[in-house]
């Protein structure tokens, strides 16, 4: 059977450039700012013939996608506000290409924090003080000029040395885990929140950096202060607080690995490293638990 008369169809398409990396410097007199991004720009639309008929006339090249990101970074005043910058890219793409119906932009913002010298913020020097990143994902659809925005933070490593317990869990013939009332709790926070509005006029005026800072603070404050009964319970507390504080958000998801730190058995060396005497732990690289949840607002009830 030839390829063309198989009983198949092209179900979904999306293409563009990934891993477009750039550093944007803003020079404002003596003080300079910089933002380093990794950007993905993907397109969809009336492009089926490029797959099914080798028709390249509908292909905006992936090289053009890369140039678009770089040119808009050059022109934009908002590169450091990644949700706004991503909206600018998607808006340009749909204005520029009549046959493109969807633009997808994902941005990772890497960390460059201003250095201090003798206690004073330095005007043009920065430090990578953590591998945690800020993320966003923006989709713009020509039909109805709809925009969907998700923001996030990833790889924020935290650890607490007490204030975490885990007991009362389900037991069966395969359960060997001991209950604990005091354990190390460590995780790499991966969190995403979805904005309720799909209206680009509304979405242009949201204070995305402030919401990001606030959700990061809710996450770390709750992690530190909650007398944790489990990763699940602490996570839910973070989610309910974030939704209570930020009406612009429809839902919030976390994925938290439970990075196990296990007390070392030093009994063969004649040392007690158990119970209240446990202070040497092995940071177990794998396996780790993985706890995830999405918390969303209930639909408004119809009276």
Give the active site residues. 17, 62, 260
Instruction: Please identify, using beta-carbon distances, which residue of 178 and 300 lies nearer to ligand AZA.
Output: 178
| DSSP for residue 200 | H
d(CA 58, CA 97): 10
String of b and e for 137-170 (b: at least 16 CB within 10 Å)?
bbbbbeeeeebebbbbbbebebebeeebbbeeee
Rank residues 9 and 181 by Cβ distance to ligand AZA and give the closer one.
181
Residues that bind ligand AZA (CB under 6 A): 166, 177, 230-232, 258, 289, 291
Q: How far is CA 123 from the centre of its chain?
A: 29
- Closest distance to ligand AZA from the beta carbon of 172 (Å): 13
Taking the least distance from each CB to ligand AZA, the nearer of 144 and 168 is 168
Q: Which helix (H) or strand (E) holds 189?
A: strand 185-195
Q: What are phi and psi of 144, to 5 degrees?
A: 75, 5
CB of 175 to ligand AZA, least distance (A): 10
Least gap, CB of 195 to ligand AZA (angstroms): 29
270-279: list long-range contacts, CB under 8 Å, 24+ apart. Answer: none
Kindly tell me which of 157 and 262 has the beta carbon lying closer to ligand AZA.
Answer: 262
């Amino acid at each position: 059977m030839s390829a063309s008369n198989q009983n198949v169809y092209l179900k979904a398409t999306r293409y563009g450039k990934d891993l477009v990396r750039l550093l944007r410097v803003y020079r404002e007199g003596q003080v300079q700012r910089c933002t380093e991004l990794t950007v993905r720009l993907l397109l969809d639309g009336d492009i089926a013939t490029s797959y099914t008929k080798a028709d390249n006339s509908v292909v905006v090249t992936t090289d053009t996608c890369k140039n678009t990101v770089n040119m808009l970074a050059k022109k934009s005043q908002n590169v450091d506000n990644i949700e706004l910058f991503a909206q600018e890219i998607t808006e340009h793409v749909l204005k520029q290409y009549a046959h493109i119906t969807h633009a997808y932009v994902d941005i990772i913002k890497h960390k460059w924090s201003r250095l201090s010298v003798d206690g004073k913020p330095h005007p043009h020097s920065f430090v990578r003080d953590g591998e945690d990143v800020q993320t966003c994902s923006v989709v713009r659809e020509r039909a109805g000029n709809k925009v969907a925005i998700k923001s996030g933070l990833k790889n924020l490593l935290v650890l607490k040395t007490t204030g975490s317990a885990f007991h009362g869990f389900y037991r069966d013939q395969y359960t060997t885990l001991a209950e604990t009332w005091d354990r190390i709790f460590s995780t790499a926070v991966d969190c995403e929140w979805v904005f309720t509005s799909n209206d680009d006029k509304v979405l242009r005026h949201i204070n995305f950096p402030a919401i990001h800072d606030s959700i990061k603070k809710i996450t770390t404050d709750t992690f530190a202060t909650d007398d944790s009964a489990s990763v699940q319970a602490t996570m839910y507390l973070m989610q309910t607080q974030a939704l209570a504080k930020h009406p612009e958000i429809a839902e919030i998801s976390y994925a938290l690995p439970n990075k196990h730190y296990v007390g070392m058995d030093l009994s063969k060396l004649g040392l007690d490293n158990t119970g209240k005497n446990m202070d040497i732990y092995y940071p177990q690289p794998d396996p780790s638990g993985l706890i995830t949840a999405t918390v969303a607002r209930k639909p408004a009830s119809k009276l």
